[in-house]
Amino acid sequence: MRVVVTGAAGMIGSNLVHGLNAIGCDEVIAVDDLTDGMKYRNLLGARLADYFDRGEFYARFERGELGHIEVIFHEGACSDTLEHNGRYMLETNYRCSKGLLDACQAQGTRLLYASSAATYGDTRAFREAPECERPLNVYGYSKLLFDNVVRRMLPTARHQVAGFRYFNVYGPREQHKGRMASVACHHFGEIRERGKVRLYGEYGGYGPGEQLRDFVYVEDVVAVNLWFLRHGERSGLFNVGSGRAQ
């Protein structure tokens, strides 16, 4: 089985590559932008069939030049929630994803992709339903825009399409993310350096220490992706979290 992982050198993508190898899948094509050369370390030890720069891959796949690919795990995106360049965000997270979706349907390729819990934004309910979706930034909006394309396609989709609304993912291979690393990663660094962590004060109507997040370990995220790999009949939008805020 030939599969592609976009964003393969990122946190979720690289853990997914290693997870695929662990179940005996070695025909993995990695796609990423290694302008930040240090990300390559996340792929050390991985068994890859090939590597493409993201721009080259999208163009060649849409032209049908790469042969049959069974599944694309689309983890590549601009995940910086503080990015304010809406044009860049929509081109990267929406337009590229839409082109990939259309090409997958045309070529008989299943698509499992990263959405985000940022699509919910300012809401108290976290159901995969339009009335619960109020993103607070252009990142969340870019993800929601593509989710809505998928929603419209699902009734007539010929091949599996599943979007995963990841909550706060933490775990190994996120050292390259800097300010966008998980709270767990930042706290681990603070404990190691100073023996204590800084907590937020009062903010946004929440008292000191009252801010809660749903944290999900990256290996659980990988397990969800691999479950959908085995169940090609399941399509839709799905929350991926622990189900518990803490």
Q: Which residues are catalytic?
A: 139, 177
Are 145 and 94 within 8 A, CB to CB? yes
Q: How far apart are CA 73 and CA 77, in angstroms?
A: 12
Q: Find the radius of gyration of the CA atoms of the chain.
A: 18
Residue in 155, 126, 157, 156 with CA at minimum distance from that of residue 140: 126
Q: Which residues contact 80 (CB under 8 A, 6 or more apart)?
A: 139, 180
Longest CA–CA span in the chain (Å) reads 55
